[in-house]
Amino acid sequence: MTDVVKWGIIGAGDVTETKSGPAFYKTEHSSLIAIMRRNEAKAEDYARRHNVSKYYTNADELINDPEINAIYVATPPSSHKEYALKALQAGKPVYVEKPMAMNYPECKEMIEAAKKADQKLFVAYYRRGLPYFLKVKELLEEQSIGDILNVSVKLFKTPQPSDHQKDTHTWRIDKAIAGEGYFYDLAPHTLDILDFLLGEIEEAKGFSTNRGNLYEVKDTLACILKFKSGAIGVGEWCFVTSKNSARDSVIITGTKGEIRFSTFAFTPIQLQTNTISETFDIASPEHIQQPLIQIIVDELRGIGKCPSTGDSGARTSMIMDMILGNDLDFLNYT
């Protein structure tokens, strides 16, 4: 057990500017010791602006810094496994960005490495720590809508301006770096929160295609989900819709009513039954990962348990593999 968790960040890019980076030095019993970025000028600038005492351009040097006792991997997905394995082998717990890795087999390697090193492995599915989703979980646990029957997910988005020109494409739609594009970037947040709210998904079947022809990865996907509880679900994702078709909705239907909310827009939660109609407007914190980071810091100090682990993160990667039809020999998934 440690009194203060001293973090090093590998990949101090845009995602860490507000969402996560400041949380490491604003969270109780937590400090940010060093950051790593390959571009030295950008690394130095980040460290200066965030008042971080050390910066590196080499991940191995950060991992082996004796002052650091926990590692946050915030690089694109293609390098999650590499850096997580190195940090775990160095005897340091790891908090890795989502998706956990490029596929389920890589996740399993990371889990096994954590067991071998006797270290903790957490995944940045930070919605598990946000008051907004904890309210949905509370309503479900109170049986506000009775027994769960099904869930419907829709995420339709318009193309990014950069999607229209190949020379301006984001790395998020480079399959070698990020997997299956915006689906890999956004869908896991929803699939993971459904695992948290409704229990494990045991099977998924999907269809995927490219309808916009703006890039090579899939832009339109649909699936059916079967939960261990017996509930079923459907999911639809499209990243090339018109502006008036854009939507972000999750509807959980039970025997007594339904709950409506969103994954990214944080629209007011709506509870509707035959006798109740309530709305809950719950704001997100400035640093959206801070609640989960606080939970992780507490666990590393011997207090409580974090709900977003290597095991839960791997389940979400497995479901994405199922939806995309990747390696459907389920014997390899056990």
Q: Which secondary structure element, helix H or strand E, spans residue 190, and what is its range?
A: helix 181-198
CA distances from 275 to 144, 145, 271, 310, 332 (A): 11, 11, 10, 40, 47
Mean pLDDT of the residues in the chain: 96
**How far apart are alpha carbons 27 and 7 in whole angstroms?**
11
Sign of CA dihedral 244, 249, 253, 256: negative
Number of CB atoms found within 10 A of residue 161's CB: 8
Q: Which of 146, 189, 140 is nearest to 319 (CA)?
A: 189
Indicate whether 258 pLDDT > 80: yes
Sign of CA dihedral 209, 212, 213, 218: negative
What's the farthest any 2 CA atoms get from each other in the chain?
Answer: 60
Indicate whether 287 pLDDT > 80: yes
Give per-residue pLDDT as tens, 54-75: 999 999 999 999 999 999 999 9
Beta bridge pairs of residue 143 = none
The model's confidence at residue 1, banded by pLDDT at 50, 70 and 90, is: low
* For residues 214-238, average pLDDT: 98
Q: Flag whether the pTM goes above 0.85.
A: yes
Q: Is 123 helix (H, G, I), strand (E, B) or coil?
A: strand
Residue 15: Cβ-neighbour burial (10 angstroms; 0-12, 13-18, 19+): middle
Indicate whether 334 pLDDT > 70: no
Give per-residue pLDDT as tens, 12-35: 999 999 999 999 999 999 999 999
Q: Which of 331, 105, 330, 310 is nearest to 203 (CA)?
A: 330
* For residues 300-328, average pLDDT: 94
- Residue intervals in the chain for CATH 3.30.360.10: 131-283
Q: Which secondary structure element, helix H or strand E, spans residue 206, and what is its range?
A: strand 201-209
- Residue intervals in the chain for CATH 3.40.50.720: 5-126+288-309
Residues 6+ apart with CB under 8 A from 331: none
Indicate whether 268 pLDDT > 90: yes
The model's confidence at residue 168, banded by pLDDT at 50, 70 and 90, is: confident
Q: Tokens 């229209």 correspond to what residue?
A: 164
Would you state the pLDDT for residue 303? 97
Would you state the pLDDT for residue 330? 45
* CATH code, residues 131-283: 3.30.360.10
* For residues 316-326, average pLDDT: 96
CATH (one of 3.40.50.970, 3.40.109.10, 3.40.640.10, 3.40.50.720) for 5-126+288-309: 3.40.50.720
Would you state the pLDDT for residue 166? 84
Residues 6+ apart with CB under 8 A from 297: 5, 27, 28, 29, 30
